[in-house]
Structures are given as C-alpha cells and as structure tokens.
Structure 1
Amino acid sequence: MTGVEDAFLHDVEAATAAATDERRRLAAVSRYDILDTPSDGTFDKIASLAARIFDAPMATVAIVDSDRVWFKAAHGLRDVAEIARDPDLSAPVIPHQGPYVVTDALDDPRTAGSSLVRGELGVRFYAAAPITTADGHRLGSVNVLDTRPRRPTEDQLAGLQELAALVMDQLELRLAAQHTVAAERERRADAERLARTLQRTLLPPALPTVPGLRAAAAYHTASVDEVGGDFYDLFPLDDGRWAFFLGDVCGKGAAAAALTSLTRYTLRAAAIYDPDPCTALANLDTVLKGEYQGDTPRFCTAVFGVLDAEPDGSFTVTLAGGGHPPTLAVRADGTVEPVSTAGGQLIGLLPDPHFVQTTTRLAPGDALLLYTDGLIEARTADGSMLGEEGLTRHLATRAARGAEDLLATVHGLFTDLGTGVSDDTALLALSVPPCSIPQSAQENR
C-alpha cells in the first residue's frame, strides 16, 4: 500500500469516526431536550456572571445543534436567539478538550474570516468552556465575547470552566426532574388503568333486560386513580321477581374495593336465600361484622328492592334501606316524590341495627331513581350542598321520562355542578314505559 493510499484510508477512517461522534453528540443534545426551550433565570445569571468575571460586554450559554448555535442565555446580545454554526468561531469548542481562547480574532488565522469577527458585532476576543456530559459529549459552551483584543487570566478561564460545569449540573437536574415527572405520569396512568379495571369488576358489565321495564345505570368517578366504594346491581330471583340494590361502602382504594366486592356478592347470595329486603340487609350486616371483627369497622349504606310485575303493566316495588338517602319516584305527570326509608341504620357498624321497609308502585310512565350520597353532597355555584330538595327540584323542572332520560338529566346536573362533585356517585334508574294505544284502536278512531 502506497503512502498516498494509506493517508487516504486514514482520512476516511477519521471522517467516519468524526461523523459517528457527531451523531452521538447530537443524540446527547436531544436527550437533554434543551433546544428552543423558554428563557430560564438560572442560565441568564450564568451568562451575566461570565461577562462580569471577564469584564466583557457579551456572554452566552450556547448549545450547538447540527447546523446552528442556539443560545439558552445571551447577555449583551439583543434579539439574538441563534446564529449559524460558524466553523471558524462557534464550532471549534466542540472538539476542543479545555477552554478555547482567541485573544485577537481579527489576526488569528483560525477566526479571521468569521462572520462574528467581520460582521456587525466585530468580535475580537473569544473564550469558551465546553459544556460536557458525564459520558464525554460536548453539548455546547459558555462563551465570553469582547470587541477588543485581550488575554484572559488563569483565574478567569478557571471561572469560565466552573460556570460550564454549573450549566451541566443544571441540565442534569432538569433532566432528572423530567424523568421524575414522566415516571409520576406513568405511575398515575398505571394507577388509573388499574383503578378502571378494578372498578369494572365491582360493577355488573351490563344490566339485564327485565320484561316490561327499562333499566339504566351510571357511575360517576370523582378520582381517576382511586377505586370508589359505590355499587349497584339488578338480577332475577327464582320466583320470577327481580331484585336490585345500590349502596356505598366507607372509604376508598383497595380496602373499599374488597368491601364492595364482599357486599355485592353477599347481597346476591342473601337474596337467593331469602329475598325479603330487610332480611337481605340483616344478612349483609352479619357478614360484615363477622368478616371485619376486631379490625377497623367496615360499614356501608344500601337500599335493597324487589320488583313484582302486575297484570296491568305496573310494578310493585318493595324497598328496604339501611342509612341510605331516599329513592326518588318520578311520576308520569312530572311530579317527584321521595320513597323514604328514613330510620334505617348503617350496615355493619351498630350492634343491633334497624332497617326500614316501604312499598310503592311504578305505574306506566313512572320512573325510580336510586343514587349514592355523592350526588346530593355536591356543591352548587354558591358553595351550598345540592341536597335532596335541590335534586328533587332539578328533576321536577326537567320533566324526565324513562330511565335513560332520567340518567341524562342527572348527567346534565353533573355538568352544571362541575368541580362541585367531589365524591363518587352511583346511579340506577328503573322505569315503566308508558302504555301505548294499540294500532287497531288508532284505526277505529
């Protein structure tokens, strides 16, 4: 191999290595996500301090991109955010190991042709200390510029290097903060996904079809990353009737989820054993006390009901309540009346709780709304609680018809209340469709 060929191969290898190093350097610049970010007081102070150390009019904290030099901070340079990557003055700091100094840029063959020297700025003195990562990549530099030739002292150059190291420390802190925020967002996203998945397991995936009845349910979540304790269900009994319940356990999170699961499946099992509403709540009370005996008390409120279809298309509804807000009956004429189980006591807390049972009738066109207390404890625009009376007034003025319409009305109320709703809320609506006139009767009119 001739000397010319050897030199050529050496140049090719050097060029390839340089290109590889530059790609890695640019990847490091991208890693710190600093380019084109807003002004930062910390970096502005570093540039100002650099100018003060050198008693110079201009100083910058510069990040070198592939084709430009972008200034994170620029002291003494008005309306200058970036310049083209100048191979004579701006870029040499990248391959340079220590401080890069040009005492008289006009007479120095390395920089005499630079636009910064020949242009409007008329730079004559330039000193730069590289901003170097722990793995050896030089992101840019802290620079000092002057319009007069000068020779810096060793103390000044040492101070410039310390400022460059300080810039690197700030970039590392910024990167660590970004990673922390990203990790927290991912943790919250994971928690939200887990909460949604767990919440779905605690509620029926869909309500069954009840002949002659329409049913709809909804769950309003106050916190996306925490499992609530509200629950509802609707299911058939062996004798042709239908049972339903809705309630709210104490607490939130995993403990509430466990209690909700136990409550829901206990009420289902209790209804199979004896569907009498008060008996079902009493059985739940016994199970909760036995399960959490000696632990922190775990209790809930609930309303349990049984639907019995009548020949005329109506339904007799038997309800029992344990410490739960009254169910609301929305009649076909638009009036709203409470179906109260007042006096019913909390389930799972008291030695010998009392449960209250009542009966009502759902005629064609009537609807029943069951809800948890997150709805009536929501705050209105003036800061007061919505309350049972406020909910009743809202339903009466909207004249909702049918289970779906009733839930849509309540969802509209949620929208109006906005951030005033601070607790989870479960909703269950049951309605009897209005009687329709047979086609033959219409033709005979």
Structure 2
Amino acid sequence: MGSIPMQRETEYRSSVTAPDRPGPPAVVRTSLPGNPLAPAAARRFVRAALADWTELGVSAAGGFTDRLADDSVLLVSELVTNAVVHAGTAVELLCRLDGAVPGESNEFLVIEVSDHHPSRAVRNEQGPPPSGTPEYGRGLQLVATLSESWGITYRTGTKTVWARLPIEGVQAVHEIESYASEQALQRGLRAAEILAPLPKRATHDTDWVNRGALTFLAEASDLLAGQFDEDLVAALAGQLLVPRLADWCAVWLHDTSEGVGRGTDGGQGARLARVWHTSEHRIEELRRVLEKEPPRLPDAAGSGAFPVPWPGEALAGDSSGTALAYRLAAGGRALGALVIGRAGLVRFPDEVTGLIEDFSRRVALAISTARRYQRQANISQVLQRGLLPSQVAQIPGVDSGVVYEPRDKGGPGGDFYDVFQAGEGRWCFALGDVQGKGPEAAVVIGLARPWLRLLAREGYQVAEVLDRLNQLLLDDATEAADAAAAVVAVAGGQGVPPDGPTSRFLSLLYGELVPYEGGVRCTIACAGHPLPLLLSPEGEVREAATPQMLLGVVDDETYTSVSFELRAGETLLCVTDGVTERRSGRLQFDDGDGLARALAGCAGLDAGLVAERIRRLVHEFSERPPDDDLALLVLQAR
C-alpha cells in the first residue's frame, strides 16, 4: 500500500545560495535529533557546508583552510555534544558567513547551536559536579580556545551558543569532505603522539595539545556511537585507550536486571566485560586477578578519577604503577566502571585524567544507547513472534512459498501474512500491510489477524469478513489499540507517540481455498492492496481480483469478492507494496507490468522457487537495500 515512508537517515547537506553582489551572508541550518548520533551528524553538516560554499564560489571560500575546517568541526562537535548528550535535548545548528566589519580585514565563519532548555545553566567547572548533577562536558573551554569571539544568547524558550572563527587564509579548499577522510589517520597519529606516556611525549604548546586531544574525543565519539552492542562498546573502549593512554584497561558492566543506581558500583551484578593489555599474553592473567574484586566507587568520586589498587600479582615485571577507576554513568544511573593502569608512574598527568573523564562519559552514553537499542530489539522480537503464524497450514493439493523480510531486521514491520484452516474442507490466506511501522502498526496487526481467523471460523464469507474487519478498524475498539501502542512505545524507549490516533489503515488481500477433486476453488478480495497475479503453466499472467477501498477509511463500505478455479500447475502470487514499489532511481519494480513479466519468467518452477526468484529479482532491482517491508505469498495447485 502507499504508506508514508519513514526517513531512514536525515540528509545533512543543505542547499546554499551564493550572493552575486554584496548582501546577506550565506546561511545554512539544520535540526539535529536528541540522541548520541547528533554530534557526528553535526560534523558532517559543517563539512558539507564548507564544501558547498567552495563549490558555489562564495567570496569567503578562498580563505578556507585546513585549520578552519578542523577547528569548526571540533567546535560544533563539542557544542552539540554539550547540548544533546549532556542536556538531553534536540538542537538547531546554523552556519553562516559574515563579511568583514569596519576596521577589520577578515571575514568570519559563525556557528550557532540552539537548544530549547534555556533554564539549564551552561557549565564549565573544572571540578566534579555535586552528586546527582547532570554531566555537561567542557564545550565552552573549547569554544574559548578556538574562536575569535563567542557568546550566549537567551531568547524566549531558546538558548543559543555562538562562536566566530576568522577566515584569514589564502589556500582554497577544493574538497573539504575528501580532506576530512584523508586527514583522519593523520589526526589519529597526532592524538596518539600527544597521548603517549609522559617520558616519550614531545614538548608541544598547550593549544596544540588541546586540539589533538579534542580531535581524539571527536573521532572516538563517532566510533562509539556506531555500536549497538554493549560488549562491543567495551571492547572498542579498550582498544582506543591502550596503548595511547594506558598500558592496560578493564571495563565492568552492571547487570541491567539488578536495578543498579548511582553510588552502588561493584558487588553482585557487575561483570568484567573486557580486559585489554599492551602485551596480549598478560590479558588472561590480568582478567583472573581483576575479577576477584570489582572496583567500588564512592559517591564522592563523581565522574572523576578514583585511585584503585595496582594488580601487581598479574603484572610480573611491573611491580608498581598507577591505576584509576571512572564511574560509567548516564542519566543518573550507574552502568559500570572503567579502569586504566600505567606502569612506572606515581600519578597520571592531569591532562590525561581529564581527557579520560570526558572519554568515559562517551563510553557510558554509548553503553546506554546500546542497552536501549537492545531493549527495543527484544520487545520487537516478542511482538514479531506474536504477529506471524508459527507455521503455514498445509493445504491439500496446494503447495505454498512465503517470503517475509521486515525493513528493520528482527523487528515488527507493517506487513503480515497468514495461512490457516477455517473449517472442514476450507482454508484461508491473508497478506496485509498496515500504514506505518513499529509498535503502532504491530497493535493493528495484533487486532486484525485474530479477527480474521475468528470471522473465518464463524463461517463468514470472504467479502463479509472484510466488511466486518473494516468496521472494527473504524469503531471505538481501536482506541484501546492506540492506548496499547503508546504503552509499548514508552516501554521500548521511544517516548509517547504524537497526539492523535495511530495508523489504522490496512491494505489486505484475503482469500478462501476449497480443494476438490482435480483442482481448488479460490475466492478472493483485494482491499487497497497490490492485485494478485495468476500464472498459467504456459507462462500467461493475468490479474486475479479487482481493486477496492482500503480497510479503515470509509464507514459502511461494502466489499465484493471474485471466484475462480486454481487448476493443476497454476500459480497465484500475492505481494505487498514492498515488492511493487521497490525503487531504483525514479523507476519502480512494477513499472511497465514489471511484476507480471518477472512472474512469467517463473513458469515451470515450484512454489518455493517462484517465491525465491521474485525475492531475488526485487533485491537486484536496485543497489540500495529495500526501504520498505517485503512480503509475498505463493500458492500453487498440484
């Protein structure tokens, strides 16, 4: 059916207008979601804006330099992290080019990050915050270091942090985006040099050190945000820290079922998820020693470093050193602990402890995100098992083939199918598509599928079943489904759905099969669904039903059905719009009767092979993965 597609990923490139005469500065803006992926999206947006301005030949683009690109990306990354990750709010990002003002020769790149929680103070303390205070990071420290000037503007309902960066170079940037990817390794090497053990570290000015460390944090954030398994987050944290910052690293994670709160680190429910050491042969012995006693961090430790005993028993040859533990917490909830150690040091340098504190916040946020994702995936899997039949009924004289591929693998889609026995000598089948996706669609499917079975087993004819199901989707019973959808959405961490009823429009292909000697009598009705196709043994294809209105749209709609004989060797193909509307550029799979031509090429194949061939052709139609649920049902008379 023509459901409204969910946007898979926000496109952060914006169109930019280049004024051909003095006038308003070029401006680009975007909105970023309130989740840990927003900083990476902001970095992509800034790089794209610089590249667009360069391509369009705005006057200021001649002054774009590598330094400006690097500084602007770092600045926006920390500001968005501060607003989204620490303040927990969506933000608006604006970039503009300001011309020179009287008395100045430079032009400026202005970056503004606005959020809608102006009551929240902008924090920049160096010491640990009081217990229970949200962690805000140190974005303003970076702003002051990189920008020519900066400030905070409060408006009704909005707080904006802005910064001006001078455009003063002469080297044109031809490909900012390619520059970013080419320089990633170099920046990583620079960060590694900065973060080397103190005796090996070269002497650098403070400005250079701060830039390298913040680059490391920005790139670490990208890597961590892309993981949706908490054990992979722990493994990645160890690889990022060792050997750059420490000789070894360990990550403990609390059991999510223990209900661990702030200040109760360690003890039962804590497991050692990952141990990493510069010498691989020491990892197992270090794990054995560390597992004996998880770190216990007092409330007074806050998010900062807390000294823990040096595990000398496991580190032969390194009898002394310094070990520090950091609480991993997000949303006021303790998730675990991060422990690092370095041999031969009396204490870690302050620059390193502060950097790891910021890094540990990012690890905690990535773990929290991974847990929310896994919780939603578990709920989705439970829903999915309840929405689809445990098995497809075997119909005498009929072979069947089924393909079901939800767009979100493992999660509930808007498509469903069913094949069941409705009574003595009667079998029914259904293929449906609910507008929308996720829990709301799942609730509608959970309502429709049992009613289909109940009405069929009560002896209602095909058209009568659709009449009654249509009325069910329109009456007050659906309000209960709306309320249930809201509960499911909140339990899955999605928040309360927008005000108003959930999607209840349903396209449905529903039919009844009555086998008899020499064939099968088929009665079918199609409500707003792609029409079923009938394939003869000779390869001829024709439509097997007539189109009718979607279910759940018009009250008192009267549906009709058609009947025909499904003879030996004939194949009935039923699909959802994930097949017919599969796109490749501007073309759809069913353009020019594409589905009929694909089915005609399946003459002579059994039901299972027909289903698999259509599935393969749909996937091969475009290089991009399918952006909608895909379901098809094949019934073939023997």
State the TM-score, normalized to the length of structure 1: 0.61
Q: What pairs up with 1:36-435 in 2 under 5 angstroms? A: 39-42=188-191, 44=193, 51-52=203-204, 72=244, 133=324, 139=342, 164-224=349-409, 226-290=411-475, 291-292=477-478, 295-296=501-502, 298-311=504-517, 313-342=518-547, 344-380=548-584, 382-387=585-590, 389-399=593-603, 401-417=605-621, 419-433=624-638
The alignment partner of 1:387 has SS state of coil
Do the aligned partners of residues 141 and 39 (structure 1) sit closer, same or farther apart at CA in structure 2, a change above 3 Å counting? farther
CA distance in 1, matches of 2:361, 2:541: 58
Q: Aligned with 2:587: secondary structure?
A: coil
| Equivalent pair of 1:222/1:421 in contact (CA under 8 Å) | yes
Tell me which amino acid in the other structure corresponds to 1:51: T
Identical columns (%): 28
Q: Using the alignment, how far apart are the partners of 1:248 and 1:223 within structure 2? A: 15
Give 1 or 2 for the bigger CA radius of gyration.
1
Q: Secondary structure at the match of 2:244?
A: strand
What residue in structure 2 maps to residue 116 of structure 1? none
1:41-95: CA deviations, max 9, x gaps?
A: 44545779961469xxxxxx9xxxxxxxx8739xxxxxxxx99xxxxxxxxxxxx
Once residues 317 and 165 of structure 1 are traced to their aligned partners in structure 2, the CA distance between those partners, rounded to angstroms, is 78
* Contact 1:346–1:353 (Cα < 8 Å) also in 2: no
RMSD (Å), alpha carbons: 3.3
CA contact (8 A) 2:515 2:521 kept: yes
Unaligned 5+ segments in structure 2 are: 1-186, 207-212, 214-241, 246-277, 280-320, 327-338, 480-499
- Give the Cα–Cα distance (whole angstroms) in 2 for the partners of residues 134 and 258 of structure 1: 45
Deviations 1:332-374 (A, max 9, x none): 11222221322x1011121232424222321111111111111
* Preserved contact between residue 300 and residue 347 of structure 1 (Cα < 8 Å): yes
Q: 1:281 to 1:390 in 2, by over 3 A?
A: same
Change (3 A) 1:181 1:307: same
Q: Which runs of 5+ in 1 are unaligned?
A: 1-37, 55-60, 62-69, 74-81, 84-129, 143-160, 434-445
TM-aligned CA distance change 1:271 to 1:171, over 3 Å: same
* Amino acid corresponding to residue 360 of structure 2 in structure 1: L
Measure, in 2, the Cα distance between the counterparts of 1:165 and 1:71: 18
SS of 1:423's equivalent in the other structure is coil
SS in 2 for 1:207: coil
Aligned to 2:45: none
Number of residue pairs matched by the alignment:
307
What amino acid sits opposite 2:570 in the alignment? D
Q: Distance in 1 between matches of 2:511 and 2:633?
A: 12
CA distance in 2, matches of 1:134, 1:50: 27
Deviation at 1:305, TM superposition (A): 0.7
C-alpha distance in 1 between matches for 2:599 and 2:465: 30
- Contact 1:297–1:349 at 8 Å: present in 2 too? no
Amino acid corresponding to residue 377 of structure 1 in structure 2: E
- Asked if the contact 2:471–2:556 (Cα under 8 Å) also holds between the matched residues in 1, the reply is no
Q: Which amino acid aligns with 2:580?
A: I
Taking structure 1 as reference, are residues 364 and 184 closer, same or farther at Cα in structure 2, changes over 3 Å only?
same
Cα shift at 1:141:
8.6
**Paired residue secondary structure (1:255):** helix
SS of residue in 2 equivalent to 1:133: strand
2: distance between equivalents of 1:237 and 1:187?
Answer: 41
CA distance in 2, matches of 1:355, 1:432: 26
Distance 1:400 1:166 in 2: 72
For 2:147, the equivalent position in structure 1 comes to none
DSSP-derived class of the 2:455 partner:
helix
The answer to which of 415-424 and 241-250 deviates more is: 415-424
Q: Distance in 2 between matches of 1:421 and 1:255?
A: 21
Conservation of the 8 A alpha-carbon contact between 1:327 and 1:339 = yes
Counterpart amino acid of residue 528 in structure 2: G
CA contact (8 A) 1:203 1:232 kept: yes
CA contact (8 A) 1:320 1:357 kept: yes
Letter in 1 for 2:504: R
CA distance in 1: counterparts of 2:549 and 2:633, whole angstroms: 21
Amino acid at match of 1:133: L
The one-character-per-residue Cα deviations of 1:377-434 (angstroms, maximum 9, x if unpaired) are: 1113x4421126222222223435221111111221243145342111222111112x
- Give the Cα separation in 2 of the matches to 1:138 and 1:318: 73
Letter of the 1:316 counterpart? R
The 8 Å contact of residues 611 and 632 in structure 2, kept in 1 or not, is answered as yes
